[in-house]
């Protein structure tokens, strides 16, 4: 089997789940290799995302590990046998891999949540807002890369379009709505775009108002993508050195709790629309 040079985040997630199953069962890589009749190097490659795994071998490994969660196993098989080459592939080699990994994650997501405090979430952004935001990067992006990033961000919106209609909820702090990215006209157009999108049945936008008290500890900006089963949910967080994909069950539980706490503290959808409309009229 061909060895991959740069596994995607989705391929790495499958690899990590297989490694977790083996560790939980208490088997060594050598013992698992013997079960499949392959070398331990092949198991190492599978568990590092460098090699794929067939449905037959995956089912044999799951049985060997005494995993009885049929829904979870089927979800892993779907990941292992997926041959999708999505629209994001046109950017491979042109944009950082994290951009493509996010697009692939969203493509397969059962639902999407966003929490943001300083910026409008990417799926809600207008082209003008995204361009202004990318223009603020230090060091400054070359014009061709800036335009690639803007185009990629606009294409990501397909998951909340009419054809896909993936359930989507965004919790946005009032600060992000008030910060004028790109100037008055761009900001006004951005707020109107949020109002337009929030009219769809599958899109929910809630505002975290300034007046909220005792909120200092709930400031975890995140992208949360629901998997085929809860075990395969993923959180993406941006840090000073790039994006980090989080997938351990314990951490996922923490972020689910954080999201629900922020959601409960936010304005309801109607109150949020009223606030956004008022801000748009002030511009």
Q: Is residue 18 predicted with pLDDT exceeding 60?
A: yes
Calculate mean pLDDT across residues 178-193. 97
Query: What is d(CA 264, CA 157) in angstroms, rounded to the nearest whole number?
Result: 26
Q: pLDDT above 70 covers what percent of the chain?
A: 96
pLDDT of residue 217: 61
Q: What is the pLDDT of residues 118-127, one digit of tens each?
A: 999 999 999 9
Would you tell me the crossing angle of helices 55-64 and 9-25 to the nearest 10 degrees? 30
Q: What is the pLDDT of residues 48-95, one digit of tens each?
A: 999 999 999 999 999 999 999 999 999 999 999 998 889 999 999 999
Would you tell me the crossing angle of helices 269-282 and 184-197 to the nearest 10 degrees? 160
pLDDT of residue 164: 82
User: Does pTM top 0.75 for this prediction?
Assistant: yes
pLDDT of residue 163: 81
Query: What is d(CA 5, CA 178) in angstroms, rounded to the nearest whole number?
Result: 44
pLDDT of residue 5: 82
Element holding 244 (H helix, E strand) = strand 242-246
* CATH class (in words) of the domain with range 97-125+156-282: alpha beta
Query: What is d(CA 247, CA 251) in angstroms, rounded to the nearest whole number?
Result: 7
List phi, psi (to 5°) of 224.
Answer: -120, 120
Query: What is d(CA 120, CA 157) in angstroms, rounded to the nearest whole number?
Result: 13
Calculate mean pLDDT across residues 193-217. 90
| Domain ranges (residues) in the chain | 9-81, 97-125+156-282
pLDDT of residue 240: 64
In CATH, what is the architecture of 9-81? Answer: Orthogonal Bundle (1.10)
Query: What is d(CA 18, CA 270) in angstroms, rounded to the nearest whole number?
Result: 44
């Amino acid at each position: 089997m061909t060895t991959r040079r740069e596994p995607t985040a989705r391929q790495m997630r499958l690899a990590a789940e297989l490694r977790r199953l083996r560790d939980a069962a208490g088997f060594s890589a050598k013992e698992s290799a013997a079960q499949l009749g392959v070398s331990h190097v092949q198991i190492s490659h599978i568990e590092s995302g460098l090699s794929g795994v067939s449905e037959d071998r995956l089912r044999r490994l799951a049985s060997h590990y005494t995993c009885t969660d049929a829904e979870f196993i089927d979800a892993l098989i779907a990941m292992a046998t997926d041959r999708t080459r999505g629209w994001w592939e046109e950017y491979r080699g042109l944009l950082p891999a994290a951009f493509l990994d996010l697009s692939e994650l969203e493509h397969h997501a059962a639902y999407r949540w966003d929490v943001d405090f300083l910026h409008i979430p990417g799926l809600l952004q207008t082209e003008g807002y995204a361009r202004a935001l990318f223009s603020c990067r230090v060091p400054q992006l070359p014009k061709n890369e800036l335009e690639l990033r803007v185009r990629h961000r606009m294409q990501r919106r397909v998951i909340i379009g009419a054809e896909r209609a993936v359930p989507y909820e965004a919790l946005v702090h009032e600060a992000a709505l008030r910060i004028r990215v790109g100037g008055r006209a761009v900001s006004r157009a951005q707020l109107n775009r949020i109002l337009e999108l929030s009219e769809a049945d599958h899109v929910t936008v809630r505002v975290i108002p300034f007046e909220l008290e005792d909120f200092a500890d709930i400031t975890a900006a995140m992208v949360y993508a629901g998997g085929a089963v809860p075990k395969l949910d993923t959180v993406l967080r941006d840090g000073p050195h790039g994006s980090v994909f989080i997938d351990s069950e314990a951490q996922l539980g923490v972020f689910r709790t954080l999201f629900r706490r922020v959601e409960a503290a936010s304005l309801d959808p109607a109150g949020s629309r009223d606030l956004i409309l008022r801000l748009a009229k002030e511009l």
